[in-house]
Amino acid sequence: MTTPHTASPLSPVGAHVPVSGGIATRGLAYAAAVRAETIQVFVSNPRSWSRGPGNPAEDAALRENSALPLFIHAPYLINLGTPYQETATRSAASLEHALLRGEEIQAGGVVVHTGSAVRDGRREGLRRMRERLLAVLERLSPSSPPVLLEPMAGQGGALCATVDDVAEYLDMLEWHPKLRVCLDTAHSFAAGHDISTAPGMRAMLDRFGETVGADRLELVHANDSKAQCASNKDLHQNIGAGRIGAAPFAELFRHPVSSGVPVIVETPGPETPHAADVNTLRRLRTLGHTASRERGSAGWSAAPSPQAPATAAEPVGAPAR
């Protein structure tokens, strides 16, 4: 049976932080201003294929001066399911660069979108993705951070959007031990999971535990949605200002699948609305943790996460770089 997240009883809540001016100098100052307990950063321009080196002094300052759980978001252009070889080559190189930078700054994971078939149908896109991503994974060093697969909103021939899609995607990749998952609530809502009520959020997390396994969930992007459920539109909104509403987010902090998992907001900024979203989620965390102690987790169980075999379009409201 999958082990729920119990080592850390409270999920740290934080934000994607800007790094223009220094990944430590600007990023940590922004984190302090919004009271972030965990952060996510870009390590290259998310809208280009550029792969510049990091600043050793800033990297060192980040490692030495921050105990915050840290994650990297890889560039939005990456698509390992593409039928175009040049895009595929650039995608693999861009992901490998993000993973190398993740190793250098001791990130807990590198988030990457699960991609699109573009043409030829989903099955062919999944086949291409499998070949390319497994090759990247097999080249990783033991100290490399895991790849955090982020399902999309279901738009444009998406290879992975719903929770059931995640299980199929991981199955195509032989449940590689370096793979984990980053769930984005706005994406899940747009893909058809109606999480606008606490029972709806609970049902989605139940399904994740049953089909994927709690031990594969490494990060949650907590974003409200401007778009309707099942719209396949990736439109982030501030917590409580969208169609999901604030209250269902409390379930993230009490459900056995997601309790203890870091939560990052990628909502429209800048600093003031981000601070408000972090504060809202911290209050919901208190409510969720209290309710969890009262309700307990009786009656919930999760299927085992399959083990690896022995042989082994940019969202509206995306954070500023």
- Tell whether 176 is in a known binding site: no
The DSSP code for 305 is P
- Tell whether 59 is in a known binding site: no
- Tell whether 184 is in a known binding site: yes
Integer CA distances (angstroms), 252 to 56, 92, 149, 159, 275, in order:
36, 32, 18, 25, 19
Token pair, residue 302, equals 């999760």
The pLDDT confidence band at residue 305, using thresholds 50, 70 and 90, is low
- Tell whether 113 is in a known binding site: yes
Q: CA angle 283-286-287, nearest 5°?
A: 90
Q: Give 198-211 pLDDT, tens digit per residue.
A: 999 999 999 999 99
- Tell whether 266 is in a known binding site: yes
The pLDDT confidence band at residue 287, using thresholds 50, 70 and 90, is confident
- Average pLDDT over every residue of 205-227: 98
- Tell whether 5 is in a known binding site: no
- Tell whether 289 is in a known binding site: no
Which pLDDT does position 52 carry in this prediction?
Answer: 84
Which residue in the block uniquely carries the two structure tokens 């969208």? Answer: 242
Residue 296 gets the label, from left (phi > 0), alpha (psi -120 to 50) or beta, of left
The pLDDT confidence band at residue 297, using thresholds 50, 70 and 90, is very low
Domains and CATH numbers, the chain: 13-295 (3.20.20.150)
Which pLDDT does position 304 carry in this prediction?
Answer: 54
pLDDT exceeds 70 at position 190: yes
As a whole number of angstroms, the longest Cα–Cα distance in the chain is 54
Tell me, rounded to whole angstroms, the distance of Cα 241 from its chain centroid.
Answer: 21
